[in-house]
Amino acid sequence: MSDMKTYKPNSLLYLDGVSVSFDGFKALNSLSFVVEPGELRAIIGPNGAGKTTMMDIITGKTRPDSGEVFFNGTVDLTTKDEADIAQLGIGRKFQKPTVFESHTVWDNLELALNRKRGVFGTLFYKLSGEDKDRIEEILATVRLTHRKDDFGANLSHGQKQWLEIGMLLAQEPQLLLVDEPVAGMTDAETAETAILLREIAKTRSVVVVEHDMGFIRDLGVKVTCLAEGSVLAEGSIDFVSNDPKVIENYLGR
């Protein structure tokens, strides 16, 4: 029993019975789910279901009142602060893009690469060939090679979102949490984002929260539907979207 408490086999992210209340309101109510290494997971659910709170718990912004949160099978995230958790390899992309508008796409990525090194590393830092290769690789992944010399300000909304995903990739997270990436994107950008996230999930795990059901369908991965702070249904998009509880609480609204 005690072994089970400290080792969660074959999980990159493990939540069990996580609850948190704000002024007596249960934002999370015994939330449990597991993300495997290399998995891309989609999270859906109505407004107020607890999706943002769930990400706040994983990243150490909010502490659960009860429940277990483990990273990589053994690391108890409830004992770590936000900086520790980022350092452990959990990256979070908020809904609004926050790229440096007066810097070029390339410089944004270079800055993100430097951030990983910390102050001391940056002091004696000169861009190595290896770093340049990594930036080129990230540019290709986030579809911005042709825009590398353009200022952040001149990118489309979708391209800003991709650049920010690229900036997170520069920090080599093992787990990437992405909040509503396609809100405000064109249809073409939305379709491309599904492909892009699938590519990214070949080398790390990704958890993506979205309301856009067409996009979720394009992802073609396991879906977890939250409602009232816990899991309502989980499985393929067809399974989840045909669940009467999901229709009643979310899709049919």
184 binds ligand ATP (CB under 6 A): no
Sheet holding 75-76, edge to edge: 25-35, 13-22, 66-71, 75-76
Please name the residue that has the structure tokens 């992309």. Answer: 93
Sheet holding 205-209, edge to edge: 90-93, 175-179, 205-209, 40-44, 223-227, 230-235
Give the whole-angstrom CA distance, residue 203 versus residue 87: 18
22 binds ligand ATP (CB under 6 A): yes
Q: Which is nearer to ligand ATP, 52 or 193 (CB)?
A: 52
Q: Please state the closest distance from residue 45 (CB atom) to ligand ATP, in A.
A: 6
Site for ligand ATP in 30-59 (CB under 6 A): 45, 47-53
Distance of alpha carbon 219 from the chain centroid? 14
92 binds ligand ATP (CB under 6 A): no
3-state class of 133 per DSSP? helix
216 binds ligand ATP (CB under 6 A): no
Give the whole-angstrom CA distance, residue 168 versus residue 155: 18
Q: Please state the closest distance from residue 85 (CB atom) to ligand ATP, in A.
A: 18
Q: Which is nearer to ligand ATP, 70 or 250 (CB)?
A: 250
Q: Which is nearer to ligand ATP, 2 or 47 (CB)?
A: 47
Q: Is residue 167 within 8 Å of 198, Cβ to Cβ? A: no
Q: Which of 27, 165, 176, 194 binds ligand ATP (CB under 6 A)?
A: 27
Q: Which is nearer to ligand ATP, 95 or 122 (CB)?
A: 95
128 binds ligand ATP (CB under 6 A): no
Binding site for ligand ATP (CB under 6 A): 22, 27, 45, 47-53
